[in-house]
Chain A
Amino acid sequence: MSEGIGASVQRKEDKKFLTGKGRYTDDINRAGQVYAHFVRSDIAHANIKSINTKVAAEASGVVAVYTGEDIDVGGPICGWVVPNRDGSATHEPPHPLLAKGKVRFVGDAVAVVIAESLQEAKSASELVEVDYDELPAVVNLETASSGAEIHEGMAENRYFDWELGDEEATDNALNSASRVVKLTVRNNRLVPNPMEPRSALAEYDELNDSYTLYTTSQSPHLTRLVLAAFMFQIPESKIRVVAPDVGGGFGAKIYVYVEEAVCTWASKKIKRPIKWTADRTQAFLTDAHGRDHINNIQLALDSNNKITGLRVDTLANLGGYLSAFAVAVPTYLHGTLLSGLYDIPAIYTNVKGYATTTTPVDAYRGAGRPEATYLLERVMDQAAREVGMDQAEFRRLNFIPKDAFPYQTAVALQYDIGDYEPALDKAMEMIDYKNFENRRSEASKRGKYRGIGVSSYIEACGIAPSAVAGALGGRVGGWESASVRVDPTGTITVTTGAHSHGQGHATTFAQIVTERLGVPNSSVELVHGDSDRSPFGMGTYGSRSLAVGGVAISKAIDKIVEKSKKIAAHLMEASADDVEFKDGKFTVAGTDKETAFGDVALAAYVPHNYPLETLEPGLEETAFYDPMNFTYPAGTHIAEVEVDPATGVVEIVDWAACDDFGNLINPMIVEGQVHGGIAQGIGQALLENAHYDENGQLLTASYMDYCMPRADDLPSFKVGYTNTPCTHNDLGVKGCGEAGAIASPPALINAIINALSPLGVTDMSMPATPQKVWKAIQDSQSVAAE
């Protein structure tokens, strides 16, 4: 069986996880280790009048207690900024490692207690007395601009006010439209909830004046860069960051949080290793949340039902501090996607990002693209209903035609390739769309409302072309690194700056090597997640690992092949130009000469018969790959639901997903990514919501209160593919990690509205809880009775 590109190879990493031998941060211990526990604000917004740590410091087992006044290094930084409409810059207020003078959300870290045992640290932290002068909480996004000032000198609590597109052309389109479809939607706030809570184990080495931090990170090199260069201002070489096995990320583990930094800082102060692991409630309070937008949408149609313009005015809730990529999510990862897969001549968007006294908000699976897709697919459905067209056919009418690529959108992106109708057709076929009305009638006889909902999506993945990102306000590059080391015996070690926390890189990256070099999958070892062992790289997020990191591996292999051909030519006494390499063998065109890849590897390291005068020995190459463009996965998801009018419960009875991810390396793993993404999208649409009360208390801060999708909430999924290979990377790949979470929420909400449309229901907000659905049914019946 093939183990190369396109084969569903079983995962190499599974055995350790299945036998309990995974090595996550909290599984690691160091001699002499002590434990940190953070004293957190239980008030959303307050000035700190005083902090008394004296009693806590004298408690049993306590090694040290620190507050913001003790910290002499900087806090988290903002990795992306945008210009305001008036030309001024994004407001970047400071974010101290421990609160200084003020707290800005419930969970804000005020002090850290370090003790011999976790229990002693927890007990002593209750003895830290903080005297607060409470200020009004700012919770409501719509009125945040008139709320109490959160950051000194930041007018109207606004971090930024950004625009993209041609306002005049868009307003002209709206003014001259034969119909303007208007809709306001809210993208509910979510908590990412990787199952492994964040954790840190920091150790200071006095001999070398250096630190080692084991931590739950999606991007260990960025963590090292931020800690060393921005927070501690010490040489990067003095910090080693290791992200061992990491139990899921979904965006929440991209950033450097205060807890990891405080532990690292304090490990030098007390000269002992310090461990901190979040419990679930701390995770709810401090892991960056996701989404939380309000979008006002206006869609212009001409008399043929073709879209002529789109205006979206967005409010984004970014929480008490500006997290690393918080600014990019509602702007460049959102505004640029507003064309969807539709031919829209004029688009304008304005996004205002506000501070509130809530947990910081940043990237969560999809990051901006789910929000863009949700608003667009909701308004597309609304438009189809208003003009009386079938929802699928209305989309088809407005798709960018397949001969229009490369397609320049009205919002900065250029889609390189795509063909959207086949994915729509296939998804419709998979769910038997044409017979839906029969199923609706049948369900109706059983007293159920049955509905079908379509969502066609596009996303920009492979983040990011550095020049583009830089021009748009990004402060980091978007490339990825890889090195491929061929050992003397022909086995291969690949190092990558990407990080796997469930994606299966050890298997899929090895498949690229297998395909290209003809060595068995088992001969390839992947090294990642350790800043000392792999070249600097940008990490894993934005569906970039394969589309950027995988292509870097392919580029490094190109160099290996090129050098190997020269060695093989020498061994076979031929010209390198005549040497061909296929299936692990070098041959000379027109002769029967051949030499195996393993022989070339051996010759490279035992260069007795070797062109040393022109070629270095050894066989190891590194490549840094910076993409030319984003990749553009796209597709259609269709959900079918049944609503029970007696209870308001929505049952998902069928789900068809047809995605175009370009070429697939491992279809089994891709399918798993699609399933997981859909489940998170269903969670958003039906179950999940981070709910704050008016005082800024997070009421959903445990699994008792925040409704995570469980096995009995979900159906099995039908997954299919189309393929238009990416035109600008060597593997023709696009990325698949976020698609499910992007496509699924509007499919489901549209299906619910479709089910209830016979009652006159035209709107449903997320999450569509039974209570909300039941109420919509009741309200529609009372309207009908009037």
Chain B
Amino acid sequence: MGEISLNINGKVEKHDVGDNTLLVDFIRENAGLTGTHVGCDTSQCGACVVHIDGVSVKACTMLAAQAQGSEITTIEGIGTSDALHPMQEAFKENHGLQCGFCTPGMVMSAIELVSKNKNASEKDIRDGLEGNICRCTGYHNIVKSVKAGAEKMGG
């Protein structure tokens, strides 16, 4: 056990946790931010994607301790229901989600994808989302959402 202090969405979260605590568990169980989801145990599905210093990371793949000193942003930190992030807005307008479970990770990956490539083509988007699995949408509307989100973000 040891105290871990992480900056999540601009707020310091200090908790005593086991040394082997995964970042995703710290976010969900200790910080109480349940928008970051766990859909697999092999870092394949991407439901747990958060940003660490602006880079998208699967939070099930690193220890909480490894994130000390970094700025962590989760889905709760990018927009609110009154002021959605442009990418969140684009997903809503283009029906880019159904059950909502993969959505937080998908949106976080999409934001990073667009921030790196403002004029992403359909192929770029499909390749870029290869690490996020969605079982509901068939990706058609997700791709459409990311394109629209890129435009809204000033691409």
Contact = CB atoms under 8 A, between A and B. Distances in A.
Determine if chain A interacts with chain B. Answer: yes
Chain A interface mostly:
loop
Interface in B82-119: 84, 88, 91-93, 95, 97-104, 107
B155 interface: no
Given A669-B95, A702-B42, A712 B140 contact: no
A711 B135 CA distance: 10
Nearest to A682: B138
A28 to B, nearest CB: 9
A65 interface: no
A124 to B, nearest CB: 16
B139 A14 contact: no
B76 A246 contact: no
B136 A17 contact: no
Contacts of A717: 138, 140
A280 B37 CA distance: 13
Contact of A711 (B81, B91, B130): B130
B72 interface: no
A31 to B, nearest CB: 14
Interface centre among A19, A279, A672 (most CB of B within 10 A): A19
Given A14-B91, A280-B40, A704-B44, A22 B98 contact: no
B135 A250 contact: yes
A306 interface: no
Given A20-B36, A675-B138, A708 B133 contact: yes
A716 B147 CA distance: 13
Interface string A696-722: 000000111000111110101100000
Contacts of B143: 711, 716
Interface centre among A13, A119, A195, A669 (most CB of B within 10 A): A195
Interface centre among A18, A22, A704 (most CB of B within 10 A): A18
Contacts of A393: none
Contact of A14 (B39, B45, B97, B126): B97
A19 B39 contact: no
A27 interface: yes
B18 A712 contact: no
A40 to B, nearest CB: 15
B100 A22 contact: yes
Interface residues of B, number: 55
A315 to B, nearest CB: 28
A678 B81 contact: no
Contact of B92 (A10, A26, A193, A501): A10
Contacts of B100: 13-14, 16-18, 22, 245, 247, 502
Contacts of B140: 675, 714, 716-717
A195 B91 contact: no
A14 B79 CA distance: 13
A334 to B, nearest CB: 23
Interface centre among A14, A23, A708 (most CB of B within 10 A): A14
Contacts of B80: 19
B61 interface: no
B12 to A, nearest CB: 19
B33 interface: yes
B150 interface: no
B130 A710 contact: yes
A679 interface: yes
B92 A704 contact: no
Interface centre among B44, B76, B125, B130 (most CB of A within 10 A): B44
A758 B98 CA distance: 41
A605 B103 CA distance: 42
B101 A196 contact: yes
Contacts of A711: 125-127, 129-130, 132, 134, 139, 142-143
Interface string B52-92: 00000000000000000000001110011100100010011
Interface in A70-94: none
A506 to B, nearest CB: 12
Contact of B98 (A19, A502, A702, A709): A502
A480 B79 CA distance: 38
Nearest to A678: B138
B6 interface: no
A676 interface: yes
Contact of B35 (A21, A196, A704): A21
A716 B81 CA distance: 29
Contacts of A27: 28, 34
Given A22-B100, A717-B140, A195 B126 contact: no
B137 A675 contact: yes
Given A20-B104, A280-B41, A672-B98, A14 B92 contact: yes
Interface in A203-233: none
B23 interface: no
27 contacts: A10-B95, A11-B92, A14-B92, A14-B97, A16-B100, A18-B103, A20-B33, A24-B34, A26-B34, A195-B99, A195-B102, A197-B38, A247-B102, A248-B136, A279-B40, A280-B39, A502-B99, A502-B100, A672-B95, A676-B138, A680-B135, A702-B42, A709-B139, A711-B130, A711-B139, A711-B143, A712-B129
Given A18-B107, A22-B100, A702-B42, 10 more contacts: A11-B92, A14-B100, A119-B18, A195-B101, A196-B39, A248-B98, A675-B137, A710-B133, A711-B143, A714-B139
